[in-house]
Chain A
Amino acid sequence: MTPDPYLGPDEVARTLRRLGHEIVENNRGTQGLVIVGLLSRGYPLARRLAEAIREFEGVAVPVGALDIGLYRDDVTRRSAPPPIRPSEIPVSIDGATVVLVDDVLFTGRSIRAALDALLDFGRPARVRLAVLIDRGHRELPIRPDFVGKNIPTALVQKVRVHLREVDGEDAVYVFGEEAARA
């Protein structure tokens, strides 16, 4: 049984455009900017952020894909080990401002793994974090710089982001107990 989406395609598109503006504003332009999405759903979001920035700034910002499977802290504890896919970082990140992009920020463990993975590719001047959804419940001292939507959740709930590149539709679902609208 699929509930009504918490966010629909128009809201996702508007949110991404706003995040694009915030990223450029924070960076004071697109100089040195590299947008790196976590696989699987952070990567299409990163591509859409770059597309939005290209539309209003006229600049093509490099986009990378980062697989964190080999860096997770639960590889040998999970019920199933994470799938391993190739990362693709198309430019040197030495001295760059890297914006990591993921769909849902939850415990912060994925981002911890992503920082380790990213630093194996070089030494960025700074790393920022952009997420479509922040659902709270951090287990590590990690804080996002750009947030699409804060969704207060209970631990038992599940937040699923569907993207047309992967799932055939743009929508955000909250499963479990009824989520409180922020």
Chain B
Amino acid sequence: MLELRNPEAPASPAEAPAWTRKDLLDTDTLSNAEIQLILETAEGMREVRNRPVAKVATLRGVTVITLFYEQSTRTRASFEVAAKALGADVVNLTASGSSVEKGETLIDTIRTLEAIGADLVVMRHGKSGAPYLAARNTAAGIINGGDGTHAHPTQALLDLFTMRRHAGDLAGKRVVIVGDVLHSRVARSNLWTLLASGADVTLCGPATLVPRTLASQVSELGRCTVTTNLDDAISGADIVMALRMQKERQEKGLIPSLREYIAGYQVNARRLAKARPGALVMHPGPMNEGIEIAPDVAHGVASVIEEQVANGVAVRMAILYLMATARRP
């Protein structure tokens, strides 16, 4: 039986909040109403994805360009599938093979894409803040598909969508994010949506990857703690999110060795047994199985990792729909 409406929600759809942003650059400035609008729209998109013909024509005539200066499998494929499922036209560009190799600047590239007719540009860049620069220099909507070590808002929103589907209201729930928090744009964007949802967040990892400066910054936010002990952190946790161990960090000497990292920070069955019964295990991918996460946990009953990927399409459809139809004030 369908729930007709949330008793807290506005009585008429006309009173529902509308999306007015040109760009989606991070989750830190999103209001709870905006987050709720994305998640509710994504529920409708998920239903579309589960149909025999999982495609509609709503965004026909809308052009979405994906512009990736860094490699990606799931984010780019997910956005492309999402845009096509809504009937938009999609053009995929990567830095290699484009005029970027001839020395074209980011601003010139973005202006060129706008002139070609891009309504929305999904952009991934190795430099933190690059999508902000792009957004200031075009009328096209910019969606941040990951910038440096800064933000990955669509990942955080699909993570939140997945958590809510399984754990319901996150207020008071304990979420542990473990691994290379320092370099993780996923951890950062998740932190904002989780705190906005009322969850208690524990950031965990070796001191070199979860530095004290970060600890002092986030402790001011309340409901966020930092620890180097995963066994303590995982006790009683409702959700455990493992981050990818970025192997290039090891070469920089930020961890003593992979073996020591595994011993201290791998999410495995022994540790997971200390979490709440029914706790969820998540990972933004791509996984290094046997390093930050044990294979039996990655593919075990607690894992919602594949569901995260499937939900990613629905959440990105919701974001594309809201941004392509936005009424800007």
A residues neighboring B (CB under 8 Å):
40, 43-44, 65, 67, 69-71, 75-76, 78-88, 120-121, 165-167
B262 to chain A, nearest CB (A): 42
Contact partners of A44 in chain B: CB under 8 A: 4
**What are 6 A-to-B residue pairs whose CB atoms are below 8 Å?**
A40-B13, A43-B4, A70-B58, A83-B41, A85-B43, A121-B51
Residue of B nearest to A44 (CB): B4
For B51, what are the chain A residues with a Cβ–Cβ distance below 8 Å? 120-121
B19: A residues at CB distance < 8 A:
81
Are A86 and B43 in contact, CB atoms less than 8 angstroms apart? yes
Residue of A nearest to B322 (CB): A81
Contact A70:B18 (CB < 8 A) given known A44-B4, A85-B40:
no
- A70 and B60 CA atoms in complex are apart in Å by 11
In the complex, A181 Cα to B322 Cα: how many Å? Answer: 41
Chain B: minimal CB distance from A128 (Å): 22
Which of A67, A80, A165 has the largest count of B CB atoms less than 10 A from its CB? A80
Query: In the assembled complex, which residues on chain B have CB atoms less than 8 Å from the CB atom of A167?
Result: 11
Given contact pairs A80-B14, A81-B19, A83-B40, A71 touches B58 in the complex (Cβ within 8 A): yes
| Contact, CB under 8 Å: A84 / B321 | yes
Is A71 a contact partner of B56 (Cβ separation < 8 A)?
A: yes
Q: Which residue of A lies closest to B11 (CB)?
A: A167
Say how far B228's CB is from chain A's closest CB, in angstroms: 43
- Give Cα A84–Cα B13 distance, bound, in whole angstroms: 10
Note all chain A residues with C-beta closer than 8 A to B11.
Answer: 166-167
User: How many Å from the CB of B52 to the closest CB on chain A?
Assistant: 8
Which A residue sits closest to B16, measured CB to CB?
A83
> Which residues of B, 38-53, contact A by the 8 Å Cβ criterion?
40-41, 43-48, 51, 53
A40 and B5 form a contact (CB under 8 A): yes
A89 to B51, CA, bound (A): 10
- Give the B interface residue count (CB, 8 A): 30
Distance between Cα atoms of A167 and B18 in the complex (Å):
21
Residue in chain A with minimal CB distance to B13: A83
Please determine whether A84 and B45 come into contact, CB atoms closer than 8 angstroms.
yes
Binding site for A on B (CB under 8 A): 2, 4-5, 11, 13-14, 16, 18-19, 40-41, 43-48, 51, 53, 56, 58, 62, 86, 318, 321-322, 324-327
| Alpha-carbon separation in the docked complex, A56 to B16 (Å) | 39
- Which of B44, B62, B86, B327 is close to A85, meaning CB atoms less than 8 Å apart? B44
Contacts A69-B44, A70-B58, A121-B51 known; A84 to B325 CB distance under 8 Å?
A: no
Q: Are B48 and A82 in contact (CB under 8 A)?
A: no
List the B side residues contacting A78 at CB < 8 Å: 325
The distance from the CB of A88 to the nearest CB of chain B, in whole angstroms, is 5
Please, which residues of chain A bring their CB within 8 A of the CB of B46?
Answer: 86
Complex: A147 Cα to B321 Cα, angstroms: 35
CA distance A150 to B22 in the complex (A): 43
Closest to B55 in A: A120
Assuming A43-B4, A165-B4, is B327 touching A80 (CB within 8 A)? yes
Taking a contact as CB atoms closer than 8 A, the residue among A76, A82, A87, A166 that contacts B4 in the complex is: A166
**Pair B2/A166 contact, Cβ less than 8 Å:** no
Contacts of B324 in A (CB 8 A): 76
Closest to B321 in A: A84
Residues in B with CB closer than 8 Å to A67 are 44, 47
B318 — which chain A residues lie within 8 A by C-beta? 84
Measured CB to CB, the closest approach of chain B to A113, in angstroms, equals: 10
Q: What's the least CB distance linking B33 to chain A, in Å?
A: 13
* Cα A71 to Cα B16 with chains together (Å): 19
Known: A71-B56, A87-B47. 18 other contacts (CB 8 A): A40-B13, A70-B44, A71-B58, A76-B62, A79-B327, A80-B14, A80-B18, A80-B327, A81-B325, A83-B44, A84-B41, A85-B44, A86-B2, A86-B46, A88-B47, A120-B51, A120-B53, A166-B5
| Minimum CB–CB distance for A91 against chain B, Å | 14
